[in-house]
Amino acid sequence: MVMTDLHITLDDIRDNFDQKTIMRGNEYYLDGRVREVKSYKTTSYKNSVTITTIFSKVKGRYPYEQKIVLPNEENSRVDGECSCPVGYNCKHVVAVLFKVMDEHRASPKVREHKDIIDVEAQKWLHKFIAINRDISSKKKEQQENFLIYRLFEYKYNYDKSDIEFYRAMVLKNGNLSKGNILKRDNFFNDYKRKEYLDDKDKDIIGSLSSITSNDYYSKNIEFVGKYGASLLKRLIATNKCYFKSNSEALTFIETKKILTFSWNEGEKKSKLVSNLTPNEYLISKTSPAFCINMVKNLIYEVESEYNNETLDFMVNAPELPNSSLVNVTQRLLEELPNVNFPLPSKFEIEELKCIPTPYLSIYGQKNLNKTIHLMEFNFLYETYSIPSHSKGATSTLTQNGKTVKIIRDNKREEEYRGVIEDAGFEFEPRLSAYLSFANPSMQVAIERWREFTEEQVPRLNEAGWEIEIADNFNYKFEYMETITVESSESGNTNPWFELSFSVDIGGKRVALLPIVASLLQEFNSVDELPPKLNLELEEGKFLHINSTEIKPILRTIFELFDKQEGDSLIIKPFDAHLLDIDENTDVIWKGAKELKALSQKLKDFKGIESVTPSPNLQAELRDYQQFGLDWLNFLHEFNFSGILADDMGLGKTVQTLAFLQLLKHRGELTKPCLIVMPTSLIGNWKNEIKKFTPDLTYLELYGVDRAKKFEKIVKHDIILTTYQLAQRDEDKYQNREFLYIILDEAQKIKNPKTKMAVAIKSFTAQYRLALSGTPIENHLGELWSIFDFLMGGFLDNLKTFKSFYQTPIEQEHDFKRRELLNKKIAPFILRRTKEEVAKELPPKTEIIKRAKFGSKQAKLYENIRVTMEKKVREAIKGKGLSRSHITILDALLKLRQVCCDPQLLKLESAKTIKESAKLEMFLELIDDLNLEGRKVLVFSQFTSMLSIIEKQIKKRKIVYTKLTGSTRKREEAIEKFTKGDATIFLISLKAGGVGLNLVEADTIIHYDPWWNPAVENQATDRAYRIGQDKAVFVYKLIVENSIEEQIIKLQEKKKSLQAGIYKGNEDKSDKFDGGELVELLRL
């Protein structure tokens, strides 16, 4: 039979079959297994709907026969029976449907071509055409079809779903088609793939799927409660939601329906009826309830004094014989006095109108071994009690067989309720009582009860309220007389302070630490505490206190609670400044004289003794250097360690030597002092010792013959060595004890896991000191490592430090936590900048000069950027960010090299490019500076770049000198510049970024920017330091629209982190992003 007018779509198939069956069925169709297809059409006598039935044969393992009923106007299901073992809606049925769909498309049909003999070619052709037809079909369906929602159809007796989904379209006459109903089970499984759904539809269906309930037949959806109401409103807002089979979408209006009930009394029977009209449909299970005007297609909220369940029962109340009406009403009034039930006309009732009396019952109720405190509130109209939360102008109550209709004084009731609610209590419907919730905190919740029971209840009693407080309400409040803090003094065998805190309550002393423990769990800092505190002494019994009276003590406890031992705090001397000692409070301090004095000195350095430098010091200290000496002496006096973190060029070396000279002068330099430094600084320390403290003897443990010198250590005041050699000679230091171990450029041990850091921390010394202008280069973990060397345990272990300080400060931008860290470390870091102390320094001008790529260099840069970004993303996807650093750094390196000069790249594509925008700009600048007679330092991280620059300078016959890691005669290279024989000094950042004094220079050029500003600043400070008498110009050369511009932005972020810890003045609008390296590749 020839098939005509058969219509089946891909969505019909998806709505009725799972994905696996669809895939297998499509394969069967494309393999040509559908052998025979016949169709018949019949008309249903019931509703005149045309039903199409297909009879077919498909070759599987055996030949199978199918009978398939296609979707129609009334039914969107495909019902396919098959003689195969599966039997129903199997892959064979799907194969037939694909054949029908393919042969009945509007587009030209594809038949098997006789000239294409090859079976594989025939399969390929079918698949290719099917795919492309499917795409065009999808586009067409997407344009014509859309989803609509129909409410409360209940098409089948067994189906209780409140909503059905239809795929509809607008007909040529402008009307909405009735649409095809979608099977809910399949629809929810693959709705995200439906082309005719928009994003709002998918969002709503996702929400609806969360409230589906499965029954024997399908997934049901019921609109219940507040969530059901919100979903219903979202559906109405789509303008595609219809009531049953109506053709006009529902519209929501704000006007509410006031729902009331009354008795429709007949001669023999009566029925409870509502004021709903015949055109109104009630949705009673949502909260609030809704009403639909079925004619006008409007939906609106329903306002009723009855809850949802009661409402449903009243709407569906049966007819009652008039003979039993009075008895039923009487029974309801007796059993449910709080339900305002409508009264029949024959019911005898007395009206009562009077002024209500507020009645409060305050009591406790056990719940899971804890007592909940509640307040039940009623209004007394004479002897009749009405719950405060019930509403209505009247209430009908039965008492002793007498029914009374009370005319309620709503205005007074509202005033009485306001008293309770203004006090902060909230009504809890489930308990029918008022509670004091922990909002914003449990302390505030308890204070509400104290203030109400002790202060408001007496006033309310006087105003005529009836108040009853039950014995099981067990909140009791005590008041303190004095607070005492006792301290045991520190001694040589007991190097800490022990603090105990107590309060006197009615002549009895109570330890304070145990009862403030709950505050530590509830609040992060003292500043968050409410004005009034109630500290639990035992269950239901509290100590009431004003937080201002106890804040100084609480601040100490908050910051040092982890040092608790029993009822006391153990305070190490380096934590003494964290004590908040306020002499103006009534707190009694006992035995804390030494602790208070130390705390004050650490807080503001007032009282630090000013010491006279040794007469053997061959230097005149500036004021700030004198204070540095005083500070070092103070640390020594109290057995502390610290970081001298002055800016480069402010004389950290001379301050350190002045202090060691002072110790020798006083006879306290009883053991050698080990000073560890980068290799480049050995010569500088030797020169400074000879110049400023010739009285101090030193031994240089450097060079291949150093092993013989270890025996001479005890005969010298100062031992000089390098970081690498200290690690290499670790065994030789293990049995030696130094007076001081001093680390210069202490950031070298910023990684606590390196062998070098571990080795140096194992050395023995009575005191330790760190010198570093940049103790934080990248992150706070570096600061922890330095302090771990200085005073182990001062910043806890690394895991605790990360969770309490580093992560909150760097990633969560927690400025309170940063302030805590600042406060803790402040006494042990002394940092002064040139701007603060060296007023006589000439001005420093920073200039950023931008070059622009030529076309060839720009193309090379972009090709590399795109290639490397792809490579980085693949690495991150495969290995994660933390394990992709090598790939990321390699990408950054290549991009930076392109910016400097294409010749730095070891790529064939780069060798042919001779143009270099930045080099050309640099050479123009050098020519100008040379004409002006400037003395120039040129820094680059690439020694190969310095070699390219060197060739160009030679061509210009400018006298220069050069210092890199491979320079053997280092001192000669430096002297050539300092003595004026060379006007340009080419320096690799790693070899000459620290340890040089080059005040002869007046111009610094940073040829390539480095992401850490501290490294660049160190290099700049080779010239901009004490002794500089000329204005200094700093040039930073970057390429526009390149990674170098991103590096400059990143430098600002790094500066912000460092400044925030040193001075606590970080710009709070600036954030530090942990994924910064990946960000650099996005330009």
Lowest mean pLDDT among 181-185, 594-598, 962-966: 594-598
Residue 793 pLDDT? 84
3.30.1330.10, 3.40.50.2300, 2.60.40.420, 3.40.50.10810: which CATH number matches 623-837? 3.40.50.10810
Average pLDDT for residues 940-954, to the nearest whole number?
93
Q: What gap in Å lies between CA 1058 and CA 47, rounded to an integer?
A: 81
Task: Tell me the CATH number for domain 844-854+915-1074.
Answer: 3.40.50.300
Q: Is the pLDDT of residue 593 over 70?
A: no
Tell me the residue type at 688: E
Tokens encoding 11: 């969505």
Residue 135 pLDDT? 47
> Partners of 36 in the beta sheet?
57
Q: Dump pLDDT digits (tens) for 879-900.
A: 776 677 788 788 888 899 999 9
Residue 497 pLDDT? 58
Assess contact for 13 and 19: CB atoms under 8 A: no
Residue 671 pLDDT? 94
Averaged confidence pLDDT in the chain: 82
Token pair 């009630």: residue: 282
Tokens encoding 524: 């992060």
- Please write down the HEC assignment for all residues of 764-794: EEEEEEEECCCCCCCCHHHHHHHHHHHCCCC
Q: Dump pLDDT digits (tens) for 1032-1063.
A: 899 999 898 888 888 887 777 666 666 666 55
Q: What is the pTM of this model?
A: 0.50
Residue 1062 φ then ψ, to 5°: -65, -45
Residue 117 pLDDT? 46
Lowest mean pLDDT among 8-12, 500-504, 739-743, 792-796: 500-504
How buried is residue 467: exposed, middle or buried, by Cβ count under 10 Å (0-12/13-18/19+)? middle
Q: What gap in Å lies between CA 950 and CA 960, rounded to an integer?
A: 8
Tokens encoding 512: 């304070």
Q: Is the pLDDT of residue 1 over 50?
A: no
Q: What gap in Å lies between CA 182 and CA 218, rounded to an integer?
A: 12
Assess contact for 148 and 181: CB atoms under 8 A: no
Secondary structure of the chain: what % helix, strand, coil (to 5)? Answer: 40, 25, 35
Give the β-pairing of 764-771 and 737-744. Answer: parallel
CA neighbor of 661 nearest in space, from 637, 701, 690: 690
Q: Dump pLDDT digits (tens) for 318-362.
A: 888 988 887 787 777 767 766 777 888 777 778 899 999 999 999
Residue 559 pLDDT? 60
**Higher pLDDT pick, 546 / 232:** 232
**Higher pLDDT pick, 89 / 46:** 89
Residue 563 pLDDT? 43
Assess contact for 474 and 539: CB atoms under 8 A: yes
Q: Is the pLDDT of residue 174 over 90?
A: no
The ranges of the chain annotated as CATH 3.40.50.300 are 844-854+915-1074
Residue 115 pLDDT grade (very low, low, confident, very high; cuts 50, 70, 90): very low
Residue 40 pLDDT grade (very low, low, confident, very high; cuts 50, 70, 90): confident
Q: What gap in Å lies between CA 654 and CA 934, rounded to an integer?
A: 29
Residue 962 pLDDT? 93
**Higher pLDDT pick, 1055 / 971:** 971
Residue 874 pLDDT grade (very low, low, confident, very high; cuts 50, 70, 90): confident
Residue 985 pLDDT grade (very low, low, confident, very high; cuts 50, 70, 90): very high
Residue 961 pLDDT? 94
The ranges of the chain annotated as CATH 3.40.50.10810 are 623-837
210 Cβ neighbours under 8 A, 6+ residues apart: none
Coil, strand or helix: which one is 4? coil
- Please write down the HEC assignment for all residues of 946-1003: HHHHHHHHHHCCCCEEEECCCCCCHHHHHHHHHCCCCCEEEEEHHHHCCCCCCCCCCE
Residue 391 pLDDT? 80
Q: Is the pLDDT of residue 493 over 50?
A: no
Q: Is the pLDDT of residue 1076 over 50?
A: yes
Q: Is the pLDDT of residue 133 over 70?
A: no
How is residue 524 annotated by DSSP? S
Residue 1010 φ then ψ, to 5°: -115, 145
Sign of CA dihedral 906, 910, 912, 917: negative
Kindly compute the dihedral angle of the four CA atoms of residues 930, 933, 934, 935, in this order, to the nearest 10 degrees. 100
What percentage of the chain carries pLDDT values higher than 70?
83
Residue 281 pLDDT grade (very low, low, confident, very high; cuts 50, 70, 90): very high
Q: Is the pLDDT of residue 728 over 60?
A: yes
Give the count of beta carbons closer than 10 Å to the beta carbon of residue 811: 12
Tokens encoding 676: 């560890």
Q: Dump pLDDT digits (tens) for 430-476.
A: 889 999 998 888 888 989 999 999 999 999 999 999 999 998 898 88
Residue 46 pLDDT? 60
For 368-411, list the strands marked E by DSSP.
370-381, 384-387, 394-399, 402-407
Q: Taking the mean position of all CA atoms in its chain, how far away is CA 677?
A: 40
**Higher pLDDT pick, 45 / 450:** 450
391 Cβ neighbours under 8 A, 6+ residues apart: 305
Residue 1021 φ then ψ, to 5°: -75, 0
Q: Dump pLDDT digits (tens) for 366-406.
A: 877 788 899 999 999 998 899 998 888 888 787 776 788 88
Average pLDDT for residues 87-106, to the nearest whole number?
84
CA neighbor of 292 nearest in space, from 282, 284, 278: 282
Residue 543 pLDDT? 83
